């Protein structure tokens, strides 16, 4: 009876290999999305833009005279990729309290890139929603002052 349950290493290896092949691989169900690989799939948007008019689960492209960038907006945070940039100019981002992005004391400004500092061309950036604020925004704008 004791010999029946004692496995030699060859049988153990075959058993483990069979169990690995028999288990489903859930990691294959995830689809990777790449802004680098699919630049033509991004939707060109005006700058400034109204947040409520952006379709869900899409990537967007902003064409500015000083930079071109693509971004994904999940309703709160922004994840983006700088395609082209004039390194002499900074890139700013502003969450706008009003839809037309006119100046307001409730706006939230963020620096994406300082002049002559990273992120450069072909670099990623992310902008987290300021969770400590008790209000939401209606617009967003990317800019590069001269």
The tens digit of pLDDT for each residue in 67-84 reads 999 999 988 899 999 999
Is the whole model's pTM more than 0.85, yes or no? no
Distances (CA, A) of 55 to 50, 75, 98, 137, 145: 11, 10, 19, 16, 28
Lowest mean per-residue pLDDT among 37-41, 76-80, 102-106: 37-41
Residue 22 has pLDDT above 90, yes or no: no
Residue 111 has pLDDT above 60, yes or no: yes
pLDDT in the model for residue 146 = 78
User: What kind of architecture, by CATH, is found in domain 39-143?
Assistant: Sandwich (2.60)
Mean pLDDT of 26-55: 74
């Amino acid at each position: 009876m004791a010999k029946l349950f004692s496995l030699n290493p060859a049988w153990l290896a075959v058993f483990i290999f069979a169990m690995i092949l028999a288990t489903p691989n859930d990691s294959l169900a995830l689809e990777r999305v790449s802004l680098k690989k699919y630049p033509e799939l991004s939707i060109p948007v005006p700058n400034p833009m109204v947040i409520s008019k952006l379709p869900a689960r899409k990537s967007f492209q902003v064409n500015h005279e000083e930079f071109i960038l693509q971004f994904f907006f999940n309703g709160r945070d922004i994840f983006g990729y700088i395609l082209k940039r004039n390194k002499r100019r900074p890139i700013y981002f502003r969450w706008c309290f009003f839809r037309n992005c006119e100046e307001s004391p409730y706006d939230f400004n963020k620096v994406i890139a300082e002049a002559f500092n990273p992120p450069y061309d072909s670099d990623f950036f992310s902008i987290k929603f300021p969770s400590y604020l008790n209000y939401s925004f209606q617009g967003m704008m990317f800019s590069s002052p001269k």
